[in-house]
């Protein structure tokens, strides 16, 4: 059965529900849901406490961002943290890749050019210098360095490049201070320059002459057969020095101008070649030296008239030797 206490509880619950509804209605009725009717009402709503607090909060956030850049730093930290997980795609990444590739290529070009410049400046022979000059590029040498390279060449080859008297004149008067060499096609161009980089003399070396110089320099570590200028004019050392001994004492240095250099070389002379070309009154002599298992050729220059005298003696002795051999053959 329904009791009084139960009726009282039900009545109390209903009363509480009505009280809550009344309070909600009062609160909603206190909120301004209509447009302000005048400026006073508008200002009153604008400068309400909650509006002022919101405005101050927004201003503090804005000012702190301008002062400390915390938003950019936080965004940058986030991007740095997640950078490894993002794919390398897009225009920015492509530009970065192209920039890195171009920088690496440029570094490689600069490195190669610096290496070739060092190799060319440190060259001790003409072919070493020529081979280390890159196509369409050049190298600058001092006049002293080029003069030393010029003197390493055999006289017949050096004369084809430039007259020794012209080199001597430019070097002696001090006007020639540097030399610029550049690859021009398959050949080589040489510019003799003064202090103002004015061209005093331009020299051209074709490819066939460069190749011939290379063969000659390689032959200097080989035998006389590697040098075509000595073909059919190669004599044994004993025959050569026997003929040299028959000449007058005052003519010996006209044939062998630097006997001291031959004495200073290790090993012993086995053969001597005489060139068939005369250049500026001189004829080239090649002395083949055997040092253990290696052979090399030392080139010297003798005066034309003295070398011809020596060749006459060699031919006379060879004729006498052939005549003696024929006589002995007929007698037998």
Residue 94 lies in a domain: no
Question: Is 157 among the domain residues?
Answer: yes
Place of tokens 């000012």: 63
Q: ∠130-135-139 over CA atoms, to 5°?
A: 55
Residue 19 is predicted with a pLDDT of: 59
What is the reported pLDDT for 274?
Answer: 92
* pLDDT tops 90 at residue 261: no
Regarding whether 194 and 170 lie in a shared domain, the answer is yes
Assess whether 225 and 281 both reside in one domain.
yes
Range scoring the smallest mean pLDDT among 3-7, 35-39, 48-52: 3-7
pTM (2 decimals)?
A: 0.44
Q: What is the pLDDT of residue 328?
A: 54
Select from 186, 213, 240 the last residue of a domain: 213
**Contact (CB, 8 A) for 180 and 203:** no
303 and 230 co-located in one domain: yes
Tell me the average pLDDT across 237-259: 88
* Assigned domain for 27 exists: no
Q: Does residue 138 lie within any of the structural domains?
A: yes
Query: Does 269 fall in a domain?
Result: yes
Is residue 196 domain-shared with residue 227, that is, in the same domain?
no
Residues 173, 240: one domain?
A: no
Domain check: are 138 and 196 in the same one? Answer: yes
CA atoms within 13 A on the CB side of 40: 0
Residues 206 and 241 in one domain: no
Report the range of poorest mean pLDDT among 34-48, 61-75, 266-280.
34-48
User: Mean per-residue pLDDT for 176-188?
Assistant: 84
Q: Is residue 207 part of a domain?
A: yes
pLDDT at 155 over 60: yes
Choose one of 167, 183, 213: the last residue of a domain: 213
**Is residue 229 located within the same domain as residue 256?**
yes
Within 8 A by CB and 6+ apart from 17, the residues are none
Tokens of 111: 């490195």
| Residue 69: other Cβ atoms inside 10 A | 12
Last residue of a domain, one of 169, 187, 213: 213
Q: Kindly report the CA angle at 238 between 233 and 241, in degrees rounded to 5?
A: 80
Q: Encoding tokens for residue 9?
A: 């509880």
Question: Residue 307 is encoded by which pair of tokens?
Answer: 């070398």
My answer on whether 225 and 320 are in the same domain is: yes
Give the model's pLDDT for residue 219: 56
Query: Does the pLDDT value for residue 109 go beyond 60?
Result: yes
119-133, 173-187, 262-276: which range is least confident on average?
119-133
> Which pLDDT belongs to residue 24?
47
Same domain, 241 and 273: yes
Mean pLDDT of 265-270: 86
- Give the pLDDT band (50/70/90) at residue 230: confident
For residues 227 and 317, membership in a common domain is answered with: yes
Residues 246-257: b if buried by 16+ CB within 10 A, e if exposed: eeeeeebebbbb
| Full domain range(s) for residue 230 | 221-324
- Does any domain span residue 113? no
Mean pLDDT over the full length of the chain: 77
133 and 205 belong to one structural domain:
yes
- Joined tokens for residue 129: 């210098």
DSSP 315: H
Number of structural domains (the chain) is 2
pLDDT at 330 over 60: no
26 vs 219 pLDDT, higher one:
219
% the chain with pLDDT above 90: 6
Residue 13, domain member (yes or no): no
């Amino acid at each position: 059965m329904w009791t009084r206490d139960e009726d009282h509880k039900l009545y109390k619950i209903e009363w509480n529900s009505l009280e809550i509804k009344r309070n909600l209605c009062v609160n909603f009725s206190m909120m301004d849901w209509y447009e302000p009717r005048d400026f006073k009402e508008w200002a009153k709503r604008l400068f309400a406490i909650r509006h002022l607090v919101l405005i101050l909060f927004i201003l503090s956030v804005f000012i702190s961002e301008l002062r400390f850049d915390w938003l950019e730093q936080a965004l940058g930290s986030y991007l740095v943290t997640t950078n490894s997980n993002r794919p390398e795609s897009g225009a920015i990444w492509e530009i970065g890749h192209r920039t890195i590739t171009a920088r690496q290529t440029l570094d490689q070009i600069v490195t190669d050019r610096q290496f070739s410049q060092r190799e060319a400046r440190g060259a001790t022979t003409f072919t070493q210098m020529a081979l280390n000059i890159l196509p369409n590029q050049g190298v600058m040498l001092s006049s002293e360095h080029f003069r030393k390279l010029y003197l390493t060449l055999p006289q017949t080859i050096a004369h084809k490049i430039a007259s020794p008297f012209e080199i001597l004149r430019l070097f002696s008067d001090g006007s020639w201070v540097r030399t610029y060499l550049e690859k021009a096609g398959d050949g080589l161009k040489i510019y003799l320059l003064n202090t103002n980089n004015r061209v005093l003399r331009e020299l051209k070396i074709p490819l066939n002459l460069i190749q011939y110089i290379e063969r000659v320099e390689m032959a200097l570590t080989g035998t006389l057969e590697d040098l075509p200028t000595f073909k059919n004019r190669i004599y044994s050392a004993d025959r050569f020095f026997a003929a040299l001994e028959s000449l007058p004492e005052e003519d010996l240095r006209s044939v062998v101008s630097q006997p001291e250099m031959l004495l200073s070389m290790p090993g012993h002379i086995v053969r001597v070649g005489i060139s068939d070309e005369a250049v500026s009154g001189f004829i080239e002599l090649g002395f083949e030296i055997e040092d253990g298992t290696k052979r090399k050729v030392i080139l010297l220059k003798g005066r034309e008239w003295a070398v011809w005298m020596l060749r006459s003696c060699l031919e006379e002795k060879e004729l006498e030797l052939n005549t003696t051999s024929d006589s002995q053959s007929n007698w037998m």
